[in-house]
Structure 1
Amino acid sequence: MSFEGLVAFSATDNESRRNCKRTMRVRVEKVLSAFGLEYNKTMKAMKEHGAIISGSSALRVLFAEGFEPGDIDFYVGREGSAGFQAWIESESMYREDVGKPPTEPDDWYSAGRHGIREVKWLKESETGKKMNVVTTQDVCPISVILQFYTTLSMNIISWAGVGCAYPSLTTKRIGVLVGRELAENRRVQRRIQKAAERGFLIVSTWKDDAVTEALGPHQCLKGRTCPRGARNMRTNRGLLCMVLDEGKEGEMQKMMPNVSWMMMGGEDCGDEHDSIRVSTRRHRLGAFVSIKA
């Protein structure tokens, strides 16, 4: 069952809710175990230091079966970064990969771009497993997730639960680039090709037929299905979430920051006017992504 289906089914009765939570927890446990990480210890450290998981590992848990992630990406705010990295080194054999070539300045995830402060590329010497620890400029790492190059990557695993920003597309294995011009970027092209090899489709416009079909009829500017207008993390236009353990519903809501973002303007979905946001750091950290206390 897809992530969206699990969330819907969990609302039918108490037993279904417990079963769906167990299903999601098992998926998260499998991803962590694949990288030599124990579930309870990792979740405790993530809570203590304010870390989340995103990237291919977070995408993987949204599906019952599929690709195997090549690495695991932790995102942690500047205040918790040192403590979380110290925990990683004390609990595992992951160490900084000195053979990793430096990130080129114009790479999407290079330091100083899109709210990223520093990136540590780690490797487990015996197994060769890879881990990336990304320190964000802001104390809240979720704001960086909403600045990724495609909606397909706007997913998280937190210590409280799993969240997906665009479930109507993501669970159908479809993503939209945050800026049409990114389709010409060589590095993004390679990422699109890699996604295609894993069975995902990334398109450059919200008017693509695959996107229109996936979104289907919906009320414009309402809920997570509509791509138009501003969205806020603490509303029903935030992340679609599934908590992992009993009693964490309230905790999942508390850990969500008051972050607002916008993929498209406020015109009705049927309008011909296309106002996909421009992919620049100035726009991302100004008009389109805002963080409130």
Structure 2
Amino acid sequence: MTPNRSRDTAWFDTYATTKNGWIKTRLGDANSPGDQENLISKVRETTSKCGLDLDKLVSTLSSTRGIVSGSAVLLMITNLKFTPGDIDLYVPESQEDRSIALILRDHGFVLTKSMKPLYDNTTIKAVHWLEKGEKTMNIMVVKGENAVLAIFQFHSTIVMNFLSSTGIYCAYPSLTIVNWALPNLPIMLREIAADGRCRECYDKYRACGITFENDPRNFDPQANHICYQDSHCPMTIRTTRDGRGRYVELFLSSEIESEVGWQHKSMVIWSLGGPICGSPNHYHDAFSTSVDIIRKMVKTSNITPSDTDLATFTTRYRWVEVYTVT
């Protein structure tokens, strides 16, 4: 697809109505039953091609706090046409054994190999390969308790998306839906990129129609790009709760806060790594970290609320969020 720059430009933050309408059309609007059903149908079709029953998969994700990411999720949220070679499940390290057991029991896969990551990775502890006939699944064990952290060390923005037990999240929707991507090269990937080991990843997605640019201004030279502020600038610090990503709730959840798309109250803070905008020989290093969110009720006065005075109660008490780096 050739993007229509007047409509699909990645830099239309100032055109909120156009932007939100276009993203909802492509990715789905959680408030529209029709959009939601269409997206669920696409998710079900993709998971079936990977040898999985969606209902059982959602149950597995719910009980393990895992997520699905990689090319399979990209198929769910775009109009790209390709056959996924495998499906990638990311789980917290405390859920490693449980996740393998559930995939073997409920999904009929067979464990064929377990190994350490192919390169130094600050988030991935181990990789397990499972097969069911010609279908392949990779279980990636993420250090710590937030499986989402792993996707922000991926090679580019095109795969910074995930399916959870509650819905789908896309970190860079206005790039992804028009098949554009920014590379992400943390220090650990830079040597790999230099000797060509990353080339296969980029070539794979280029063959599917993805356009990669190191400098986001190359997507639309006429855009008024603002470094460190635009959501698509590699140097902009992003969070999974900043409203610049797109989350669509698809499945019912008992969780109080499902808008972030996973089942523990935490978020990820990140920025991309790669050449500085306009300075291809100077690098900005990537970073990503998981942050616990602790919700605490704080009394703002000494008045004790009565059962019949809820209005007073809400003014005398308030919820605050305390963030701690994990």
With the shorter chain as reference, the TM-score category is 0.7 to 0.9
C-alpha distance after superposition, 1:222-244 (max 9, x if no partner): 5634444211112213x311111
Partner of 2:108: 93
- Whether 1:290 aligns to 2:289 is yes
Partner of 1:106: none
Partner of 1:233: 240
Partner of 1:252: 259
Partner of 1:263: 272
Q: Structure 1: give runs of 5+ residues left out of the alignment.
A: 104-108, 279-283
* Structure 2 contact 235–284 (Cα < 8 Å) conserved: no
> Comparing both structures, which one devotes a greater share of its residues to strand?
2
C-alpha distance after superposition, 1:118-154 (max 9, x if no partner): 0001111xx3111100001121111110011111111
In the TM superposition, residue 262 of structure 1 has moved relative to its aligned partner by 1.3
* Structure 1 contact 10–17 (Cα < 8 Å) conserved: no
- The total of aligned residue pairs comes to 268
Structural RMSD (CA): 3.5
Percent identity of equivalent pairs: 24
* 3-state DSSP of counterpart to 2:243: coil
Partner of 2:125: 117
Partner of 2:201: 191
* 3-state DSSP of counterpart to 2:197: helix
Equivalent-residue separation in structure 2 for 1:26 and 1:177 (angstroms):
30
C-alpha distance after superposition, 1:34-62 (max 9, x if no partner): 12211111101101101101111111111
* Structure 1 contact 167–224 (Cα < 8 Å) conserved: no
Partner of 2:308: none
* Structure 2 contact 171–240 (Cα < 8 Å) conserved: no
**What aligned pairs does 1:89-238 form with structure 2 within 5 A after superposition?**
89-98=104-113, 109-110=117-118, 112-124=120-132, 127-179=133-185, 183-203=193-213, 205-207=214-216, 209=218, 211-212=219-220, 216-217=223-224, 221=228, 224-237=231-244
Equivalent-residue separation in structure 2 for 1:136 and 1:273 (angstroms):
32
Task: State TM-score, norm by structure 1.
Answer: 0.77
The aligned amino acid for 1:224 is S
Q: Structure 1's 229 and 208: CA in aligned 2 closer, same or farther, altered over 3 A? A: closer
Task: State TM-score, norm by structure 2.
Answer: 0.70
Equivalent-residue separation in structure 1 for 2:37 and 2:134 (angstroms):
30
The aligned amino acid for 1:21 is Q
* Structure 1 contact 59–153 (Cα < 8 Å) conserved: yes
Q: Structure 2: give runs of 5+ residues left out of the alignment.
A: 2-7, 9-18, 293-326
The aligned amino acid for 1:262 is S
Choose the corresponding residue for 1:82, options 78, 97, 110. Answer: 97
**What aligned pairs does 1:48-63 form with structure 2 within 5 A after superposition?**
48-63=63-78
In the TM superposition, residue 87 of structure 1 has moved relative to its aligned partner by 0.4
Q: Structure 1's 7 and 177: CA in aligned 2 closer, same or farther, altered over 3 A? A: closer
* Structure 2 contact 28–39 (Cα < 8 Å) conserved: no
* 3-state DSSP of counterpart to 1:139: coil
The aligned amino acid for 2:270 is W
